[in-house]
A = this chain, B = another copy of it.
Amino acid sequence: MGCGSALPTTRHCLSAQVINLREKLFLIDCGEGTQLQFRAMKLNFSRLNHIFISHLHGDHCFGLPGLISTLGLLGRTADLHIYAQPDAGKVFSFLPDYFCKELPYQVLFHSFDPAVSEQIFEDRTLKVTTIPLKHRVPSAGFLFEEKPKSAHIRRNMLDFYRIPFARINAIKEGEDFVTPEGEVIPNARLTLPPRPTQKYAYCSDTAYDESIVPLIEGVNLLYHEATFSHKDLARAQETYHSSAQQAALIARAARVERLLLGHFSARYPDEKILLDEAKEIFPNTLLAKERLRIALPA
């Protein structure tokens, strides 16, 4: 929804992304204007229950007050969960105290320690783990891992062996089937393997840091900040950001499938310079842009 860095430009909005997993929406970061992008992309506010904030710099969280208010105006009653570092609840406490006295739902802050990798969310289909990052303030990325799904039943086998309805779930989970005659039908003949599970890693903001590689090994899509070009490496180091080349080095080391670059400094009128330098190292790279939608698997 936004792939600019701190200074807004006419081309880029501030950091925010949405994961849509089977029509459940998960928001990562919430820069100013996120609710406007949410609306513009025709996403359904009521499907959003969980927000993950990487760090407390304004360009990653100043959209929270407006979004929280809007959800209230829309009559939300379900709890809203916000995962962030421990200070977040305090920092945004002015909201319930002053602006949202009549909020018809609860905002629950769940804090995590950005210094260690820990699982911070889990439901039936997804788990989310933090990725400690290296920035000027405590900062964490997020690894979204789809959980293994059960196998698909082969419908024609169901009919052929007259498998009773009551056995289906067990077979989906891997059980063989025993016919009334005592014949054992191996599970592999009854099922098709599920679509492979997908992994998405979000790493922003961060300086170049190889220690994240084991945490993001082999993900299907890696979003890694690329605020600067390699020719501005000194500035990247000074501000604890990465160059596009460094993002590509991380992607290559972690053997990810695809790399998505974002968090672009306002200084580059055309981010092709960033794309080109990353592609030299990691060819399967693409540039983020506002309202881009990426399907997983590709």
Of A1-9, A16-24, A182-190, A196-204, the one with at least 4 CB within 8 A of chain B = A1-9
Of A67-75, A158-166, A211-219, the one with at least 4 CB within 8 A of chain B = A67-75
B6, B32, B73, B74: the one contacting A33 at CB < 8 Å is B32
B13, B56, B87, B98: the one contacting A36 at CB < 8 Å is B13
B9, B33, B70, B98: the one contacting A87 at CB < 8 Å is B98
Interchain CB contact under 8 A, A73 and B13: no
Q: Contacts A32-B32, A91-B98 hold; do A58 and B62 have CB atoms under 8 A apart?
A: no
- Which residues of B are found within 8 Å of A9, using beta-carbon distances? 39
Q: Does A268 make an interface contact (CB < 8 A)?
A: no
**Measured CA separation A92–B40 after assembly (Å):** 28
- Which residues of B are found within 8 Å of A70, using beta-carbon distances? 6-8
Could you say which interface size class chain A belongs to? 20 to 34
Q: Does A63 make an interface contact (CB < 8 A)?
A: yes
In the complex formed, the residue of B with least CB distance to A34 is B32
- Which residues of B are found within 8 Å of A32, using beta-carbon distances? 32-33, 35-36, 63, 65-66
Question: Shortest distance in angstroms between A104's beta carbon and chain B's nearest beta carbon?
Answer: 14
Q: Which of A1-56 contact B (CB under 8 A)?
A: 6-10, 13-14, 32-33, 35-36, 39-40, 56
Q: Does A99 make an interface contact (CB < 8 A)?
A: yes
**Measured CA separation A69–B62 after assembly (Å):** 10
**Measured CA separation A16–B70 after assembly (Å):** 18
Q: Does A121 make an interface contact (CB < 8 A)?
A: no
- Which residues of B are found within 8 Å of A66, using beta-carbon distances? 8, 14, 32, 58-59, 62
Interchain CB contact under 8 A, A6 and B73: yes
Jot down 29 A-B pairs with beta carbons below 8 A, ordered by A. Answer: A6-B69, A6-B70, A7-B70, A7-B73, A7-B74, A8-B35, A8-B70, A9-B39, A10-B39, A10-B40, A13-B36, A32-B32, A33-B33, A57-B99, A58-B65, A58-B66, A58-B69, A59-B66, A59-B69, A62-B65, A62-B66, A62-B69, A65-B65, A91-B94, A91-B98, A91-B99, A92-B94, A93-B94, A94-B94
Q: What 8 pairs between A and B have smallest CB-CB spacing?
A: A32-B66, A58-B69, A62-B66, A33-B33, A62-B65, A8-B36, A91-B98, A10-B40
- A residues sitting closer than 8 Å to B (CB atoms) are 6-10, 13-14, 32-33, 35-36, 39-40, 56-59, 62-63, 65-66, 69-70, 73-74, 87, 91-94, 98-99
